[in-house]
Amino acid sequence: MKLTPAFFGLALLASISGPAFAAATPEEAQRLPEVFQAYLGKEQGVVTVTPDGDSYRARFDATPLFAKIKEPGVSVSLTPIEWVITPQGGGKWQVDQNQPLAFEMKSGADAAMKVEAGLVKGTGVFDEALGGFSSSSSQISRLSLDQTFVEQGQNQQTKLAIDTMTFMSAMSGTGDLADVTYDTSFTGMRQAVSVPASSSAPAVEIVTSSPDGTQTVAIKGLRLKPMTSLMAWLVAHPADDEIAAGQAELKEKLRAALPLFTSLSSTSNLNGLSIEASGSKVGMQQLSLGMDSSGVVADGYLRARYAASGIQVPAGLVPPWAASLLPENAAVDLKAGGLDLAAAAALMIDKTDLAKDPPQPAGFEDEFMKALMPTGAMQLGLGPSEILSKAFRLNAEGSMTTGPAVMPAGKATVKLAGMDQLMAALQAAPPEMEMQGMAPMLLLIRGLAKQEADGALSWAIESTPTGSVTVNGTDLTKMMGGQ
C-alpha cells in the first residue's frame, strides 16, 4: 500500500509511546521533540513542539529528511504538517489537524507527481498503551493528483480529482497485536489517463468517473509498533547506500514486524461507474472489489472478489447479433492458498545482500519457489461465480492443485442456461466473423452435458494427477486417443 504524506505524518505521531501529556509546559515541549526524533533519526528541525495554553502545537517538517535523498535529479517537498495536541489524562491525548497539504516529487525530466488537498481536517485520540489512535476521523476536500512520466520517449499523464473524502478508524488491543477497522467514503471522483500513440494505436484519453463510493477494511493482529519502527527506520535512511550500509539492522526490524498482521479483509464499492474513451462510454451501476488475505504466515492465502452489476455498453459499440451475449452482471471469486509465505519471507531476508548486484545469489529463484511451495504445489480455487446476459446465465465453481512439481488436478462444476440462445446468436453472426465454425464444438459440449431439472445444462469436470480428464464421467482422454 502506498502511504499518502498526510497518513505518513499521522503514523509518525501514532508511533510515540512516551508518558501522557500533563499541563502544557516549556519543559515538556522541549522533551517531546526528542521522543519524535527517536523514530526519525537525529536530524534537527524535523519536529518542533511549543506550548499553547492547555495544549501543544506540534510541527513536522520533512525538509531535512528529504535533503538526505542523494539520487541525482530527485527533489521532494511536503507542506509542514501541524497538529494541536491536548492531554486527556490516563495516557491519552487528542490530536487535531486543520490545514491544506501539498506533496510534490520530481525525478529529473522523466517523472513528476503532485498531490494537493485543499483542506485536511481531522481529529483522533492517541492511546499511549496501544501505541496508536484508538479512534480517528478526518475529512479531505478538493483532493487532486497530477502524475507524469516518460516511457520510451512518450509522455504519459494521470490526473485524479476527488471532491471530498472521509475516513474513520477504530483500534483496540496492544501495539503488538492490534485490531483495526477503517471506513472510507468519497464523492465526485474523476480520473483521466492519457495514453500516447503507438505504432498500432492512436493516442487516447481514458476517463473514469464515479459520483460516490465506499471502502471498508478490517485488520486483525496488526503488528503496529514493529511496523511503525520499521517505517521510521526507512524514513531516517532514505538513500540506497544508507539502507545497504544498515541492512543488518533493517533485517532485524523486518523480522520483528512479521507476520505484519494475522488477517486482512476489504470491500470497495464504486457507484455509477463510467469509463469513456474515444467517444465511447461503458457504464456500471456498481463495481465491487473484495480482498481477503493472511499475513506473512506458514499457511498463507489470498482471495479476490470482483462483481459488476448493471453493465451498460453503447449500442453502436457492439454488432446487433452479439448484443444479447454481453454480460449485464458478472461476479468472480478467485482464491489461492497453500503458500508458505513465512518461509519465503525469511529466505528473502536472509539471502538478500543490498550491497551486491544482483542482491540475491545464483539459484535463488528456485530456492525461493521451494520455500514458497514446500510440497511443489499450491491450491487455486474458483468460488461461486456467475456471468449473466440477456441470452444466457453461466455459473461455475471449482478448485485445483497445481505447481512446478505436480500435474494439475482438481474438480469444477459448470452450469449453463440458455445454450439454444447462445447458439442462435453465433449462427446469426455475419459469415466473415467465422462464428459458425464454433457450432460443432458447442454440439460436442452439449452432448457431454447433464440436463438439470430447471432445464439448464451442467458439466462436472475432474482432472487427475495422471493426466486424465473426465466430464460427467466420460473420459475425454480416451475419446482423444489417449490411454
pLDDT of residue 237: 82
- 111-127 vs 469-471, strand pairing mode: unpaired
Cell matching residue 148: 507524469
Give Cβ neighbours of residue 150 (< 8 Å, ≥ 6 apart): 109, 110, 111, 156
Cβ 397 vs Cβ 383: under 8 Å:
yes
pLDDT of residue 299: 95
Q: What is the pLDDT of residues 435-447, one digit of tens each?
A: 777 878 888 899 9
pLDDT of residue 11: 36
Cell matching residue 288: 465491487
Residues of the chain with pLDDT under 50: 1-23, 38
pLDDT of residue 13: 37
pLDDT of residue 392: 96
pLDDT of residue 32: 59
Cell matching residue 55: 495544549
pLDDT of residue 31: 62
pLDDT of residue 33: 61
pLDDT of residue 7: 34
Cβ 364 vs Cβ 351: under 8 Å:
yes
Q: What is the pLDDT of residues 234-257, one digit of tens each?
A: 877 877 888 999 999 999 999 999
pLDDT of residue 258: 97
pLDDT of residue 482: 53
Distances (CA, A) of 149 to 114, 155, 277: 12, 6, 21
Q: What is the pLDDT of residues 260-272, one digit of tens each?
A: 999 999 999 999 9
In whole angstroms, what separates CA 51 from the centre of its chain? 40
- Give the CA angle between residues 382, 385, 390 to the nearest 5°: 150
pLDDT of residue 128: 78
Q: Which contacts (CB < 8 Å, 24+ apart) does range 273-276 have? A: 273/208, 273/209, 273/210, 274/207, 274/208, 274/209, 274/210, 275/206, 275/207, 275/208, 276/206, 276/207, 276/208, 276/209
Partners of 333 in beta bridges: 305
Q: What is the pLDDT of residues 372-386, one digit of tens each?
A: 999 999 999 999 999
